Chain A
């Protein structure tokens, strides 16, 4: 180890390390760095005092002004509500029918409805409400199981369909298609006959066929005379090839009559606020089939 000495060129001290005659300088850290270092230390101490930081035995230091992340969020949400209140308070106060009449309010509600639809509804009803054949109804056509007026749609969204919400559509079991096959109400032969008849409704009804009698005895109360629908809410018309849950073929009808599909939708009033549901209602109503 060489001795620690002053380097004649730079004027700095050396560390005492030397390799092949090259000596290591002990250059001190630059001033600006030292200043920032100590300012940071002082800043940290200030931070401890002002903000919640240190644990105590059973609690923690709350800081000078009692700031908290969750309290801050409450403030932020309040500000946000205020910023949006110009429109949202109008929507809150108006009925869905009034919103639909007021063009500028409708525009705002449609945008809000579209966003809420993407987050909550598109997973089942598809983007833009196009539906998913065999599983989830299209909201863009003019076939409605539970009614297509603004008030109907609002009610359906708020309480959902066949769920634990007592006000849900069909929640009281009134619109539950019986299990004609699985419960032995109809024999497999009768089921085939009625299925043939139901499919014939799409073109020329097979009048006088055995299927017609079975249909009149078992299905008309819900699906309407000749399958035109309108028997009870929730039962779709069967006189077109538009189907929600099944294929419009003999096999499709057999499947439904043997062991029916019972569609179910969550109760959105439990998750979303009334204002969001109003925006969703006018959005869904506008998709194509609103009445």
Chain B
């Protein structure tokens, strides 16, 4: 096996060693990454997933800003115990408009992938202000500062940025971003224009004050939409089996 003994040539020559390592990483990287761009089966074809509404998007930014992902995952794995506790396992399709995705890797608190609709706005607001008001044994920090006003002056630019990385916001969505955001907080009409653009958006001022748009309103709108976009009663298991 003399060819196996030749590695000494590579190992004792810095130039050849570097070239060898580089080649190795390139081949490994190509094999792992390139197919992801062409494999059509990665993202399941299910209906209902839509880009975040402007208010939800602001809420998502707050979620990231406050580091909620450090304690909460948004990824229900396809295991018995997880599915029984949290609901249907997460699909790749459900985070296809997430940049960056919020799957997380640490569960100090429960998974949030399907928390939308589990609680009322009233509970979420009390819980965010001081979790121990509703869950005495909770170790989650309070976020009372979320009652401050929301600065959404750059919301249209945010939508535009996301469009640049592939989220299908239309010109109309971007033009109406600001009014959509305000309407989601202020309107409780079931034929509000925003519901046509963003079906199933969670309407209303979570903190009970529709006049002032707070960071709380945005975070609650985001949390309430998590995991609710796909109607799983209409999804055939064999079409998402991987």
Residue ranges of A at the interface with B (Cβ–Cβ < 8 Å): 55-60, 68-74, 76-77, 80, 119-120, 123-124, 132, 135-136, 163, 264-266, 270-271
Q: Mark B134-176, 1 if CB is under 8 A from A, else 0.
A: 1100000000000000000000000000000000000000000
Contacts of B41 in A (CB 8 A): 59-60
Residue of A nearest to B41 (CB): A59
- CA–CA, A78 to B118, complex, Å? 26
- In the complex, given contacts A73-B80, A77-B83, what are 14 additional A-B residue pairs having Cβ atoms less than 8 angstroms apart? A58-B38, A58-B40, A60-B39, A69-B242, A70-B241, A71-B241, A76-B80, A77-B80, A124-B134, A135-B122, A264-B120, A264-B122, A266-B118, A271-B117
- CA–CA, A77 to B80, complex, Å? 6
Query: Given A73, A80, A135, A266, which contacts B134 in the complex, CB threshold below 8 Å?
Result: A135
9 pairs of A and B residues whose beta carbons are closest in the complex: A55-B35, A73-B78, A264-B120, A71-B241, A70-B241, A70-B78, A76-B80, A68-B241, A69-B78
The contact sample of 6 A-B pairs, CB cut-off 8 A, is: A55-B36, A58-B38, A58-B39, A59-B41, A76-B80, A264-B122
Residue of B nearest to A77 (CB): B80
A73 touches B83 (CB 8 A): yes
Residue of B nearest to A272 (CB): B87
Q: A55-B31, A76-B80 are contacts. A123–B135 as well, Cβ < 8 Å?
A: yes
> For the complex, is B123 an interface residue (Cβ under 8 Å from A)?
yes
Q: Mark B54-93, 1 if CB is under 8 A from A, else 0.
A: 0000000000000000000000001110010101010000
Contacts of B241 in A (CB 8 A): 68, 70-71, 74
- CA–CA, A265 to B36, complex, Å? 43
Contacts of A163 in B (CB 8 A): 120
Contacts of A60 in B (CB 8 A): 35, 39, 41
Residue of B nearest to A55 (CB): B35
Interface of B (DSSP majority class): loop
Contacts of A73 in B (CB 8 A): 78-80, 83, 89
> For the complex, is B126 an interface residue (Cβ under 8 Å from A)?
yes
Q: Mark B21-41, 1 if CB is under 8 A from A, else 0.
A: 000000000010001101111
- CA–CA, A57 to B35, complex, Å? 6
B118 touches A120 (CB 8 A): yes
B89 touches A80 (CB 8 A): no
> For the complex, is B193 an interface residue (Cβ under 8 Å from A)?
no
B230 CB, nearest partner CB in chain A, Å: 14
B117 touches A270 (CB 8 A): yes
A112 CB, nearest partner CB in chain B, Å: 11
Contacts of A57 in B (CB 8 A): 35, 38
A55 touches B117 (CB 8 A): no
Contacts of A72 in B (CB 8 A): 78
Query: Given A68, A76, A132, A271, which contacts B118 in the complex, CB threshold below 8 Å?
Result: A271
Interface residues of B in 89-131 (CB under 8 A from A): 89, 117-120, 122-123, 126-127
B133 CB, nearest partner CB in chain A, Å: 8
B86 CB, nearest partner CB in chain A, Å: 9
Contacts of A123 in B (CB 8 A): 119, 123, 127, 134-135
Contacts of B120 in A (CB 8 A): 163, 264-266
Contacts of B78 in A (CB 8 A): 69-70, 72-73
- CA–CA, A135 to B124, complex, Å? 12
B2 CB, nearest partner CB in chain A, Å: 15
Contacts of B122 in A (CB 8 A): 135, 264
B89 touches A70 (CB 8 A): yes
Contacts of A80 in B (CB 8 A): 80
> For the complex, is B212 an interface residue (Cβ under 8 Å from A)?
no
A239 CB, nearest partner CB in chain B, Å: 27
Contacts of B118 in A (CB 8 A): 120, 266, 271
Chain A CB count within 10 A is highest, among B38, B237, B240, B241, for B241
Q: A124-B123, A266-B117 are contacts. A70–B134 as well, Cβ < 8 Å?
A: no
Contacts of B79 in A (CB 8 A): 73
- CA–CA, A119 to B135, complex, Å? 12
Residue of A nearest to B36 (CB): A55
Contacts of A132 in B (CB 8 A): 133-134
- CA–CA, A123 to B89, complex, Å? 23
B87 touches A271 (CB 8 A): yes
- CA–CA, A120 to B155, complex, Å? 35
- CA–CA, A60 to B34, complex, Å? 12
B126 touches A135 (CB 8 A): yes
Q: A70-B241, A77-B80, A270-B117 are contacts. A59–B39 as well, Cβ < 8 Å?
A: yes
- CA–CA, A58 to B78, complex, Å? 24
Chain A CB count within 10 A is highest, among B40, B78, B119, for B78
